[in-house]
């Protein structure tokens, strides 16, 4: 089980990265922006039916900000799990309005089964986390990708966030589409510097002490700002991330 939420974990993730991705970690922010834009441009050319995810988190905000000028009309998918923070719902609506977002798709499972899964498996157990995320988050995303006929999907994951994400490729094949990860080689500081440079307003939950956002019941404030950015997401989720990602989790 993953128990290390110190900054050492970031270094461990970097060591797990593929050589060609790891080589990009120390590029300047300007160079990373240029590289990311090129990845998006190549993806848009190769996969004309491409969409992007937007969760209300800062990483997804940055990749959306970089991608929209390249393809303003691409489908934007927000998976409503029924249990995101109220601040997240409000923030997403604000971004949609202020950015003039088009082709926005809010998708969710047929019904809210949180209490049912909680009663059956126990909150935050590995069984609960896999079943609840699978039903409320993963399946709606996969269905949206299929319903929209997308052959590629852009996700704002970064390799230093998690050991499983560290092993990813920029163009990552799935059963019926390609996942594109243009921020895979960005560090947390790069994201924060980008936000400052372009004066982007972020989800207000970050100012309250959260450093990684999920559902209300499975996300806590980071107890120490010097800890790894996913502190607050819990040991169980980190432990089963490989299983979740094999199911389709970003």
| 65-121 confidence digits (pLDDT tens) | 999 999 999 999 999 999 999 999 999 999 999 999 989 999 999 999 999 999 999
CATH number at residue 122: 3.40.50.620
Please give the mean pLDDT across all residues of the chain. 93
Is there a domain that residue 137 lies in? yes
Is there a domain that residue 205 lies in? yes
Residue 4: what pLDDT? 61
Is there a domain that residue 160 lies in? yes
| Angle (CA) 55 57 61, round 5° | 85
Residue 99: what pLDDT? 96
Is there a domain that residue 3 lies in? no
CB atoms within 10 A of CB 191: 23
Is there a domain that residue 1 lies in? no
Is there a domain that residue 14 lies in? yes
Angle between helices 188-197 and 58-67 (to 10 degrees): 60
Q: How many domains does the chain have?
A: 1
Is there a domain that residue 144 lies in? yes
Low-confidence residues of the chain: pLDDT under 50:
1
**Which regions of the chain does DSSP assign to beta strands (E)?**
50-53, 76-79, 104-107, 152-154, 171-173, 178-180
Instruction: Name the pTM for this structure.
Output: 0.93
Closest CA to 72 of 97, 47, 46, 104: 104
Residue 1: what pLDDT? 41
Distance (Å) of CA 94 to CA 52, 63, 163: 18, 17, 33
Residue 47: what pLDDT? 96
Q: What's the domain range around 101?
A: 8-247
Is there a domain that residue 86 lies in? yes
Residue 228: what pLDDT? 80
How many angstroms separate the CA atoms of 98 and 247, rounded? Answer: 34
């Amino acid at each position: 089980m993953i128990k290390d939420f110190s900054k050492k974990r970031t270094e461990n993730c970097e060591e797990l990265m593929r050589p060609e991705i790891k080589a990009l970690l120390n590029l300047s922010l300007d160079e990373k922006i240029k590289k990311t834009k090129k990845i998006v441009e190549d993806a848009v050319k190769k996969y004309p039916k491409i969409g992007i995810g937007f969760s209300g988190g800062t990483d997804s905000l940055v990749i959306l900000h970089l991608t929209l000028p390249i393809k303003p009309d691409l489908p934007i998918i927000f998976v409503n799990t029924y249990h995101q923070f109220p601040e997240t719902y409000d923030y997403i609506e604000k971004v949609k309005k202020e950015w003039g977002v088009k082709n926005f798709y809010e998708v969710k499972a047929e019904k809210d089964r949180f209490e049912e899964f909680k009663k059956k498996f126990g909150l935050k157990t590995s069984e609960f986390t896999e079943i609840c995320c699978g039903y409320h988050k993963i399946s709606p995303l996969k269905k949206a990708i299929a319903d929209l006929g997308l052959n590629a999907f852009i996700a704002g994951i970064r390799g230093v966030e998690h050991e499983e994400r560290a092993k990813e490729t920029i163009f990552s094949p799935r059963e019926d589409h390609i996942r594109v990860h243009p921020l895979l080689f960005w560090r947390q500081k790069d994201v924060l510097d980008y936000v400052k440079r372009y004066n982007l307003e972020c989800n207000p939950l970050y100012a309250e002490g959260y450093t990684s956002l999920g559902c209300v019941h499975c996300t806590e404030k980071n107890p120490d700002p010097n800890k790894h950015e996913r502190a607050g997401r819990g040991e169980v989720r980190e432990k089963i991330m490989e299983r979740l990602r094999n199911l389709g989790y970003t």
